[in-house]
Amino acid sequence: MQKRAKPRERSQGTFIVINAKDNVAIALNDIERGTPLRLQRSCHAVNIVVKQRVPFGHKFATERIGKGQVIRKYGETIGKATKPIRIGDWIHTHNLKSIRGRAPH
Amino acid sequence: MICASEIALKIASRVKGTVTFTHQHGCTQIGQDLERTFDTLVRIACNPNVAATLAISLGCESVDTERFIKQIERTRKPVVMLGIQEEHGSRRTVEKGIAIARKMVENTARMKRKQCDLSELVVGLECGASDAASGIAANPALGVASEMIIREGGTAILSETTELIGAEHLVAKRSATPHVKKRIYEIVGRMQKKIETMGVDFIGGQPTPGNLRGGITTIEEKSLGCIHKAGNAQIQEVLEYGEKPRKKGLIIMDTPGHDVESITGMIAGGAQLIAFTTGLGTPVGSAIAPVLKITGNPRTYRTMKEDMDINAGTIIEGKETIECVGTKIYDEIIRVASGKRTKAEKHGHHEFAINRIGPSL
């Protein structure tokens, strides 16, 4: 079951990391490009600058993710990165693809 | 039957206390596809929310109208079938239909309300026009309510097999028996094969353009958010579309992600109430069962307040916990089951759609 991370507020950015295994965070408001955020992990903090505008409910990377690597939300696989993703990059259809919902080859 | 839709609407519009729905089916269908239409319509008439049925047929459709009436009669509820050709046309059918329906309403009005145990309650779980807030707030809160109903001996139906794709391993782990586990993988595999025959990626169909706008990028992501509606209970049984549960507790029904087809299937299976979570907002209702709307998106609650019953957006705003909103949903489910009208009911929304297996011939 999902654990709710405490949303941390820095300037205009509120967000949530649903599961400790996740490499994405979810914006709880529209976060503008360049907004600095601070993500508290269990024993260290990560500074993140949001690289593109992230609308409410959308995802951004909390770790570097290589092309072909798995993207995790709810502690589970939601697809694979189609290009290298930097910390703070907005994640959506331009850099994340489903593994299951594909046409047969 | 499709050709009788307008006549049924005319009768219902003139008799207070009746409802009807229109649909496209009942003719030029064969095999399992025809059986599904037949069974769904019969089971809708057998739903505990229905007191009496006036069925309108044309007189030459594929559905066997005699068998149709016989099956509904087994519930010992009043049922009458009027054939348009036999009654000599529209005007006479409408007139006769109005008279019969009025009598049915009169008789029903004499029935007394009786207290029922929560173990008799079957709640259909649905999510539609989802956004990322559904998976974070509305669905986990509905999951809390589902668990409370199940603890009281009641039944909750998790539907939408498309939205098990990518999350089936988590649901299957909670199977009550190895057979249930096998059935979960079976219905997901079957759905996936059906989609693959289309030869293109699911995206655009699932997730929908609205889901994508709301921050859901992949079907796996959508599914992982969707399954929270059911809480953490064990899965007791896996049903085919429109089938009646034999067990109590948490049940899965094989329905598509199409909201109205899914709701119709669960109501045919005997659900007396639908608990429906939404992110972007939807007005969908049903003529047969009250549909309770819960949104996890605080903005949607503000902009579509007239269509939303419960605001789970307070979870995202940090004002209420998931447990707290879950308890509110549970309380509201009890109130609605006891007669309180939902927003969709007040608007008179009566969407209805039967899931098809085969083509029209």
Name the closest residue on chain A to residue B137, using Cα atoms.
A4
Tell me: do B223 and B343 sit in the same domain. Answer: yes
Q: Within a domain: residue A30? A: yes
B201 and A98 in contact by Cβ < 8 A? yes
B39 min Cα distance to partner chain A (Å): 31
Instruction: Name which of B222, B224, B300 to mutate to probe chain A: the one with the most chain A Cβ atoms within 10 A of its Cβ.
Output: B224
Listed as own residue / partner, the contacts of B258-262 with beta carbons closer than 8 Å and 24 or more positions apart are B258/B353, B258/B355, B259/B126, B259/B128, B259/B129, B259/B284, B260/B284, B260/B351, B260/B352, B260/B353, B261/B353, B261/B354, B261/B355, B262/B126, B262/B159, B262/B160, B262/B355
Tell me: do B256 and B302 sit in the same domain. Answer: yes
B215 and A92 in contact by Cβ < 8 A? yes
Q: Which structural domain range is residue A44 located in?
A: 15-97
Answering whether pTM is above 0.90, one says: yes
Q: ipTM value of the model? A: 0.90
User: What is the rounded average pLDDT for all residues in chain A?
Assistant: 90
Q: Which of B109, B135, B162 is the last residue of a domain?
A: B109
Check residue A53 and give left, alpha or beta (phi > 0: left; psi -120 to 50: alpha).
beta
Q: Within a domain: residue B241? A: yes
Q: Within a domain: residue A105? A: no
Q: Within a domain: residue A104? A: no
Please enumerate in sequence order all residues whose Cβ is within 8 A of that of B295, keeping only pairs 6 or more positions apart, or say none: B133, B138, B277, B278, B279, B281, B301, B304, B308, B310, B311, B312, B313
B334 min Cα distance to partner chain A (Å): 26
B170 and A76 in contact by Cβ < 8 A? yes
Tell me: do B229 and B104 sit in the same domain. Answer: no
Q: Within a domain: residue A103? A: no
Name the closest residue on chain A to residue B224, using Cα atoms.
A74
**Which secondary-structure segment (H or E) carries A101?**
none
pLDDT, residue A104, reads 76
Tell me: do B300 and B159 sit in the same domain. Answer: yes
B203 and A101 in contact by Cβ < 8 A? yes
- CA-wise closest residue to B324 among B312, B336, B338, B333: B312
pLDDT, residue A105, reads 66
Query: What's the CA gap between A104 and B196, in Å, rounded?
Result: 6
B215 and A59 in contact by Cβ < 8 A? yes
Q: Within a domain: residue A37? A: yes
Tell me: do B145 and B23 sit in the same domain. Answer: no
Q: Within a domain: residue B96? A: yes
Chain A positions touching B224 (Cβ under 8 A) are 73-74, 76, 78
Tell me: do B138 and B284 sit in the same domain. Answer: yes
| Phi and psi torsions of B343, nearest 5° | -60, -40
Contact B276, B254 (CB under 8 A): no
* DSSP letters spanning B3-32: GGHHHHHHHHHHSTT------S-SSS--HH
Tell me: do B139 and B256 sit in the same domain. Answer: yes
Helices then strands, counting H and E runs in chain A, come out as 0, 9
For chain B, the domain total comes to 2
Which of A1, A78, A103 is facing B221, going by the closest CB pair?
A: A78
Q: Could you read off the pLDDT tens digit of each residue along chain B, which spans 361 residues?
A: 789 999 999 999 999 999 999 888 989 999 999 999 999 999 999 999 999 999 999 999 999 999 999 999 999 999 999 999 999 999 999 999 999 999 999 999 999 989 999 999 999 999 999 999 999 999 999 999 999 999 999 999 999 999 999 999 999 999 999 999 999 999 999 999 988 888 898 888 889 999 999 999 999 999 999 999 999 999 999 999 999 999 999 999 999 999 999 999 999 999 999 999 999 999 999 999 999 999 999 999 999 999 999 999 999 999 999 999 999 999 999 999 999 999 999 999 999 999 999 989 9
Q: In this structure, what CATH number is given to the domain that contains residue A36?
A: 2.30.130.110
Distances (CA, A) of B316 to A7, A17, B138, B200: 9, 12, 10, 35
Q: Which of B55, B86, B109 is the last residue of a domain?
A: B109
**What is the rounded end-to-end Cα distance, in angstroms, of chain A?**
34
Q: Within a domain: residue B361? A: no
Tell me: do B199 and B235 sit in the same domain. Answer: yes
Q: Which of B54, B87, B109 is the last residue of a domain?
A: B109
Query: What is the three-class DSSP state of B75?
Result: coil
Q: Within a domain: residue B358? A: no
B192 min Cα distance to partner chain A (Å): 8
Q: Within a domain: residue A5? A: no
Q: For residue B323, give the amino acid letter.
A: E
Tell me: do B187 and B313 sit in the same domain. Answer: yes
Tell me: do B34 and B145 sit in the same domain. Answer: no
pLDDT, residue A9, reads 44
Chain B positions touching A27 (Cβ under 8 A) are 215
Tell me: do B69 and B42 sit in the same domain. Answer: yes
A79 and B206 in contact by Cβ < 8 A? no
Query: What's the CA gap between B105 and B179, in Å, rounded?
Result: 44
Instruction: Count Cβ–Cβ pairs < 8 Å, chain A vs chain B.
Output: 101
Q: Within a domain: residue A60? A: yes
Q: Is the pLDDT reported for residue A19 higher than 50?
A: yes
Q: For residue B326, give the amino acid letter.
A: G
For chain A, the domain total comes to 1
Tell me: do B70 and B166 sit in the same domain. Answer: no
| Phi and psi torsions of B199, nearest 5° | 75, 10
Query: What's the CA gap between B309 and A41, in Å, rounded?
Result: 37
B132 and A74 in contact by Cβ < 8 A? no
- CA-wise closest residue to B130 among B50, B230, B208, B72: B208
Q: Residues A64-86: pLDDT tens digits? A: 999 999 999 999 999 999 999 99
Q: Which structural domain range is residue B85 located in?
A: 2-109
B279 and A57 in contact by Cβ < 8 A? yes
A1 and B201 in contact by Cβ < 8 A? no
Query: What's the CA gap between B124 and B119, in Å, rounded?
Result: 14
